[in-house]
Amino acid sequence: MSKDEALPARPAYAALADALRARILNGELPAGSRLPNESELSAEFGVGRSTVREALIALASQNLILTTRGVTGGSFVVIPTVDSMSAHLETGVGLMAAAQDVSVKQLMEARQILEVPAAGIAAHRIDESGLKALRDTIFDPAGTPGPSTYAKNQEFHLVLLRAAKNPLLEVTTAPVFRVMASRFGRDRAPADFWMKVDADHREILEIVEDGDSLGAMAAMRRHLDHLGHVYTQIDCLGVR
Protein backbone atom coordinates (compact mmCIF):
# COMPACT_ATOMS: atom_id res chain seq x y z
CA MET A 1 0.00 0.00 0.00
CA SER A 2 1.40 3.41 -0.99
CA LYS A 3 1.77 6.29 1.45
CA ASP A 4 -1.01 8.19 -0.36
CA GLU A 5 -3.37 5.29 0.30
CA ALA A 6 -2.85 5.23 4.07
CA LEU A 7 -6.22 4.52 5.63
CA PRO A 8 -7.83 7.50 7.45
CA ALA A 9 -9.17 7.29 11.00
CA ARG A 10 -12.65 5.89 10.27
CA PRO A 11 -14.23 2.42 10.23
CA ALA A 12 -11.69 0.10 8.68
CA TYR A 13 -14.11 -1.45 6.19
CA ALA A 14 -15.25 2.01 4.98
CA ALA A 15 -11.68 3.20 4.57
CA LEU A 16 -10.79 0.05 2.64
CA ALA A 17 -13.85 0.47 0.44
CA ASP A 18 -12.79 4.07 -0.27
CA ALA A 19 -9.28 2.97 -1.23
CA LEU A 20 -10.57 0.29 -3.59
CA ARG A 21 -13.17 2.67 -5.02
CA ALA A 22 -10.39 5.17 -5.78
CA ARG A 23 -8.48 2.47 -7.68
CA ILE A 24 -11.59 1.69 -9.71
CA LEU A 25 -12.32 5.33 -10.51
CA ASN A 26 -8.75 6.18 -11.49
CA GLY A 27 -8.58 3.20 -13.84
CA GLU A 28 -6.08 1.15 -11.89
CA LEU A 29 -8.80 -1.49 -11.62
CA PRO A 30 -10.66 -1.21 -14.96
CA ALA A 31 -14.05 -2.73 -15.74
CA GLY A 32 -13.85 -6.51 -15.90
CA SER A 33 -10.71 -6.76 -13.81
CA ARG A 34 -10.57 -9.02 -10.81
CA LEU A 35 -9.82 -7.59 -7.40
CA PRO A 36 -7.15 -9.21 -5.23
CA ASN A 37 -8.61 -11.98 -3.09
CA GLU A 38 -9.51 -11.59 0.58
CA SER A 39 -6.15 -12.87 1.83
CA GLU A 40 -4.21 -10.49 -0.43
CA LEU A 41 -6.32 -7.47 0.54
CA SER A 42 -6.09 -8.40 4.20
CA ALA A 43 -2.29 -8.54 4.03
CA GLU A 44 -1.92 -5.39 1.92
CA PHE A 45 -4.11 -3.19 4.09
CA GLY A 46 -3.39 -4.78 7.45
CA VAL A 47 -7.02 -5.61 8.25
CA GLY A 48 -8.92 -8.78 9.05
CA ARG A 49 -10.72 -10.80 6.42
CA SER A 50 -14.08 -9.87 7.96
CA THR A 51 -13.21 -6.22 7.32
CA VAL A 52 -12.36 -7.07 3.73
CA ARG A 53 -15.69 -8.82 3.29
CA GLU A 54 -17.57 -5.79 4.68
CA ALA A 55 -15.71 -3.49 2.30
CA LEU A 56 -16.59 -5.72 -0.66
CA ILE A 57 -20.22 -5.77 0.40
CA ALA A 58 -20.18 -1.95 0.50
CA LEU A 59 -18.74 -1.78 -3.02
CA ALA A 60 -21.25 -4.34 -4.28
CA SER A 61 -24.12 -2.29 -2.82
CA GLN A 62 -22.89 0.63 -4.95
CA ASN A 63 -22.89 -1.61 -8.04
CA LEU A 64 -19.13 -1.20 -8.46
CA ILE A 65 -18.23 -4.87 -8.16
CA LEU A 66 -19.85 -8.24 -8.66
CA THR A 67 -18.78 -11.19 -6.53
CA THR A 68 -19.14 -14.74 -7.81
CA ARG A 69 -18.39 -18.11 -6.21
CA GLY A 70 -16.56 -21.17 -7.45
CA VAL A 71 -13.14 -21.96 -8.89
CA THR A 72 -13.27 -19.06 -11.33
CA GLY A 73 -15.09 -16.79 -8.90
CA GLY A 74 -13.99 -13.63 -7.18
CA SER A 75 -14.88 -9.94 -7.09
CA PHE A 76 -14.90 -8.21 -10.47
CA VAL A 77 -15.22 -4.53 -11.36
CA VAL A 78 -18.43 -3.76 -13.27
CA ILE A 79 -19.63 -0.70 -15.15
CA PRO A 80 -22.74 0.66 -13.43
CA THR A 81 -25.79 0.71 -15.72
CA VAL A 82 -28.13 3.66 -16.11
CA ASP A 83 -30.85 1.72 -14.27
CA SER A 84 -28.66 0.76 -11.33
CA MET A 85 -27.23 4.25 -10.92
CA SER A 86 -30.66 5.81 -11.25
CA ALA A 87 -32.15 3.44 -8.67
CA HIS A 88 -29.31 4.20 -6.24
CA LEU A 89 -29.88 7.94 -6.60
CA GLU A 90 -33.65 7.52 -6.35
CA THR A 91 -33.26 5.97 -2.90
CA GLY A 92 -31.29 8.95 -1.64
CA VAL A 93 -33.64 11.53 -3.15
CA GLY A 94 -36.63 9.64 -1.78
CA LEU A 95 -35.22 9.61 1.74
CA MET A 96 -34.48 13.34 1.56
CA ALA A 97 -38.00 14.07 0.35
CA ALA A 98 -39.56 11.84 3.02
CA ALA A 99 -37.59 13.66 5.70
CA GLN A 100 -38.83 16.94 4.18
CA ASP A 101 -35.26 18.09 3.56
CA VAL A 102 -36.31 18.73 -0.04
CA SER A 103 -39.45 20.70 -0.87
CA VAL A 104 -41.82 20.31 -3.80
CA LYS A 105 -40.50 23.59 -5.19
CA GLN A 106 -36.92 22.33 -5.04
CA LEU A 107 -37.80 19.04 -6.72
CA MET A 108 -39.59 20.89 -9.51
CA GLU A 109 -36.70 23.34 -9.87
CA ALA A 110 -34.39 20.38 -10.45
CA ARG A 111 -36.75 19.00 -13.08
CA GLN A 112 -36.94 22.38 -14.83
CA ILE A 113 -33.17 22.71 -14.90
CA LEU A 114 -32.71 19.23 -16.36
CA GLU A 115 -35.80 18.35 -18.38
CA VAL A 116 -36.36 21.63 -20.21
CA PRO A 117 -33.00 21.62 -22.03
CA ALA A 118 -33.23 17.84 -22.41
CA ALA A 119 -36.48 18.29 -24.37
CA GLY A 120 -34.71 20.70 -26.71
CA ILE A 121 -31.82 18.30 -27.24
CA ALA A 122 -34.25 15.42 -27.82
CA ALA A 123 -36.11 17.39 -30.50
CA HIS A 124 -32.81 17.78 -32.33
CA ARG A 125 -31.51 14.23 -31.88
CA ILE A 126 -34.55 11.97 -31.79
CA ASP A 127 -34.77 9.26 -34.45
CA GLU A 128 -37.76 7.40 -35.86
CA SER A 129 -37.60 4.63 -33.25
CA GLY A 130 -37.57 7.27 -30.53
CA LEU A 131 -40.57 9.01 -32.05
CA LYS A 132 -42.46 5.72 -32.20
CA ALA A 133 -41.64 5.03 -28.55
CA LEU A 134 -42.81 8.52 -27.60
CA ARG A 135 -46.06 8.11 -29.55
CA ASP A 136 -46.67 4.78 -27.79
CA THR A 137 -46.74 6.55 -24.41
CA ILE A 138 -49.72 8.71 -25.34
CA PHE A 139 -52.78 7.57 -23.37
CA ASP A 140 -56.52 8.17 -23.38
CA PRO A 141 -57.36 10.36 -20.37
CA ALA A 142 -61.11 9.76 -20.70
CA GLY A 143 -61.09 6.67 -18.51
CA THR A 144 -60.51 6.41 -14.78
CA PRO A 145 -56.86 7.17 -13.94
CA GLY A 146 -54.96 4.21 -12.58
CA PRO A 147 -51.57 2.46 -12.63
CA SER A 148 -51.57 2.25 -16.43
CA THR A 149 -52.13 6.00 -16.76
CA TYR A 150 -49.42 6.76 -14.22
CA ALA A 151 -46.97 4.44 -15.98
CA LYS A 152 -47.64 5.99 -19.40
CA ASN A 153 -47.12 9.47 -17.96
CA GLN A 154 -43.77 8.51 -16.46
CA GLU A 155 -42.70 6.64 -19.59
CA PHE A 156 -43.28 9.75 -21.73
CA HIS A 157 -40.67 11.65 -19.75
CA LEU A 158 -38.25 8.71 -19.72
CA VAL A 159 -38.46 8.20 -23.48
CA LEU A 160 -37.88 11.90 -24.10
CA LEU A 161 -34.83 11.86 -21.83
CA ARG A 162 -33.42 8.84 -23.65
CA ALA A 163 -34.01 10.54 -26.99
CA ALA A 164 -31.50 13.19 -25.95
CA LYS A 165 -28.92 10.37 -26.19
CA ASN A 166 -27.09 11.41 -23.04
CA PRO A 167 -27.38 8.71 -20.34
CA LEU A 168 -26.36 11.16 -17.60
CA LEU A 169 -29.59 13.08 -18.17
CA GLU A 170 -31.63 9.98 -17.40
CA VAL A 171 -29.46 9.03 -14.43
CA THR A 172 -29.86 12.44 -12.78
CA THR A 173 -33.41 13.33 -13.80
CA ALA A 174 -35.45 10.13 -13.67
CA PRO A 175 -34.99 9.62 -9.90
CA VAL A 176 -36.45 13.07 -9.21
CA PHE A 177 -39.69 12.57 -11.09
CA ARG A 178 -40.01 8.99 -9.87
CA VAL A 179 -39.82 10.23 -6.29
CA MET A 180 -42.44 12.87 -7.03
CA ALA A 181 -44.65 10.28 -8.70
CA SER A 182 -44.53 8.01 -5.66
CA ARG A 183 -44.77 10.80 -3.11
CA PHE A 184 -48.11 12.30 -4.13
CA GLY A 185 -51.61 10.83 -4.29
CA ARG A 186 -52.19 11.39 -7.98
CA ASP A 187 -55.66 9.86 -7.70
CA ARG A 188 -56.53 12.95 -5.66
CA ALA A 189 -55.44 15.39 -8.35
CA PRO A 190 -57.99 17.89 -9.79
CA ALA A 191 -60.58 16.43 -12.15
CA ASP A 192 -59.00 17.92 -15.25
CA PHE A 193 -55.43 17.04 -14.32
CA TRP A 194 -54.96 14.07 -16.62
CA MET A 195 -56.72 15.82 -19.50
CA LYS A 196 -54.18 18.61 -19.19
CA VAL A 197 -51.26 16.18 -18.91
CA ASP A 198 -52.45 14.41 -22.06
CA ALA A 199 -52.81 17.72 -23.93
CA ASP A 200 -49.32 18.80 -22.83
CA HIS A 201 -47.78 15.51 -23.93
CA ARG A 202 -49.46 15.65 -27.33
CA GLU A 203 -48.24 19.22 -27.80
CA ILE A 204 -44.67 18.28 -26.88
CA LEU A 205 -44.80 15.23 -29.16
CA GLU A 206 -45.96 17.32 -32.13
CA ILE A 207 -43.22 19.89 -31.55
CA VAL A 208 -40.55 17.20 -31.19
CA GLU A 209 -41.78 15.56 -34.40
CA ASP A 210 -41.18 18.91 -36.12
CA GLY A 211 -37.63 19.03 -34.73
CA ASP A 212 -38.32 22.37 -33.03
CA SER A 213 -35.82 22.51 -30.13
CA LEU A 214 -36.83 25.91 -28.78
CA GLY A 215 -40.51 25.04 -29.03
CA ALA A 216 -39.95 21.76 -27.19
CA MET A 217 -38.16 23.57 -24.38
CA ALA A 218 -40.97 26.12 -24.04
CA ALA A 219 -43.66 23.42 -24.06
CA MET A 220 -41.82 21.33 -21.48
CA ARG A 221 -41.40 24.37 -19.25
CA ARG A 222 -45.16 25.04 -19.36
CA HIS A 223 -45.90 21.38 -18.68
CA LEU A 224 -43.62 21.25 -15.64
CA ASP A 225 -45.09 24.54 -14.36
CA HIS A 226 -48.51 22.89 -14.44
CA LEU A 227 -47.28 19.74 -12.71
CA GLY A 228 -45.54 21.79 -10.04
CA HIS A 229 -48.70 23.77 -9.34
CA VAL A 230 -50.77 20.61 -8.88
CA TYR A 231 -48.13 18.83 -6.78
CA THR A 232 -47.88 21.87 -4.53
CA GLN A 233 -51.65 21.84 -4.04
CA ILE A 234 -51.61 18.15 -3.13
CA ASP A 235 -48.66 18.65 -0.78
CA CYS A 236 -50.41 21.50 1.02
CA LEU A 237 -53.43 19.27 1.56
CA GLY A 238 -51.14 16.63 3.07
CA VAL A 239 -52.32 13.97 0.62
CA ARG A 240 -49.64 11.30 0.22
pLDDT tens profile 72-113: 789 999 977 888 888 888 888 888 877 777 888 888 999 999
Residues 31 and 8 in one domain: yes
Residue 50: give its domain's CATH number: 1.10.10.10
Domain span at residue 15 reads 3-77
pLDDT at 132: 97
| Residue where one domain finishes, among candidates 77, 102, 122 | 77
Residues 132 and 231 in one domain: yes
Phi, psi of 48 (to 5 degrees): -75, 160
Position 68, amino acid: T
In total, how many domains does the chain have?
Answer: 2
pLDDT at 240: 43
| Residue where one domain finishes, among candidates 60, 77, 94 | 77
Contacts of 112 (CB under 8 A, 6+ apart): 221, 224
Residue 140: give its domain's CATH number: 1.20.120.530
pLDDT at 35: 94
pLDDT at 155: 92
DSSP 192-231: THHHHHHHHHHHHHHHHHTT-HHHHHHHHHHHHHHHHHHH
Cβ count within 10 A of residue 187: 12
Global model pTM greater than 0.85: no
Residues 65 and 95 in one domain: no
Residues 121 and 220 in one domain: yes
| Residue where one domain finishes, among candidates 32, 62, 77 | 77
pLDDT tens profile 112-128: 999 999 999 999 999 99
pLDDT at 92: 84
Stretch 213-220: mean pLDDT:
98
Residues 161 and 51 in one domain: no
